Amino acid sequence: MEQDAELLDYLTGDGMSEIALFSPETLIDPYSAYKQLRDEAPVCFIKEMNVHVVTRYDLLRDAIRRTEDFSSKFDAFLGGAQQMMFSVLDDEQKQRALEIASKMIVTPPTMLTLDEPEHTKYRSLVSRLFTASQINLNASDVRRVIDTNIEAMRGKSEIDFMEAFAFPVPLVIIADRLGIPEQDRDFFYEAAAAAASGLKMSPVSGEVLLKRMQLAVELQQLLIRLTNARRTEPREDMITILATSRLDDEDRLLTDGEVLSILNQFLVAGHETTTSTFGWGMLNLIRQPELVDRLRGNDKLIRTFVEETLRLEAPVQGLPRLVTRDTDLGGYALKQGDMLMLRFGAANRDERQFPNPDSLDVDREKPGLQMAFSSGVHHCIGAPLARQELNLGFQALLEAFSSFRLDESKAAPVADPSIILRGVPHLHIRYDSI
Residue 283: pLDDT band by 50, 70, 90 thresholds? very high
Per-residue pLDDT for 52 more than 50? yes
pLDDT > 70 in the chain, percent: 94
Q: What is the pLDDT of residue 79?
A: 72
CA distance 238 to 126: 7
- pLDDT score of 201 more than 80: no
Kindly provide the b/e burial profile for residues 338-348, where b requires at least 16 CB atoms within 10 angstroms of the residue's own CB: bbbbbbbbbbb
What pLDDT does 423 receive? 94
Nearest to 164 by CA among 178, 154, 175: 154
Question: Over 50: is that where the pLDDT of 37 sits?
Answer: yes
Instruction: Sort 2 into a burial class: Cβ within 10 Å, 0-12 / 13-18 / 19+.
Output: exposed
Q: pLDDT digit string (tens) for 323-370?
A: 999 999 999 999 999 999 999 999 999 999 999 999 999 999 999 899
pLDDT of amino acid 125: 85
Q: What is the CATH number of the domain that holds 79?
A: 1.10.630.10
Quickly state the pLDDT bin for 129 (edges 50, 70, 90).
confident
Residue 267's pLDDT band (cuts 50, 70, 90) = confident
Predicted structure pTM score: 0.91
The reported pLDDT for the residue numbered 16 is 53
In terms of residue numbers, what domain contains 403?
Answer: 2-433
Three-state DSSP class for residue 413: coil
Q: Which amino acid is at 299?
A: D
> What pLDDT sits at residue 14?
47
**Average pLDDT score over residue span 17-25:** 81
14 burial via Cβ count (<10 Å: 0-12, 13-18, 19+): middle
Residue 10 above 80 pLDDT?
no
For the cut 70, the answer to whether the pLDDT of residue 146 exceeds it is yes
Give the pLDDT band of residue 126 (cuts 50, 70, 90): confident
Domains: count for the chain: 1
For residue 68, pLDDT beyond 90: yes
Q: Which candidate, 228, 260, 233, 257, places its Cα nearest to that of 243?
A: 228
Least confident of 13-17, 83-87, 151-155, 389-393: 13-17
Residue 3 exposed, middle or buried by CB count within 10 Å (0-12, 13-18, 19+): exposed
- Whether cis (ω within 30° of 0) applies to the bond prior to 117 is yes
Does the pLDDT value for residue 71 go beyond 50?
yes
User: In the prediction, which pLDDT does 241 show?
Assistant: 93
Task: Give the residue with greater pLDDT, 77 vs 398.
Answer: 398
pLDDT digits (tens, 9 = 90+) for 384-393: 999 999 999 9
Q: Is the pLDDT of residue 170 over 60?
A: yes
H helix runs in 22-68, sequence order: 24-28, 31-40, 57-65
Q: In degrees to the nearest 10, what's the CA dihedral of 159, 281, 315, 333?
A: -140
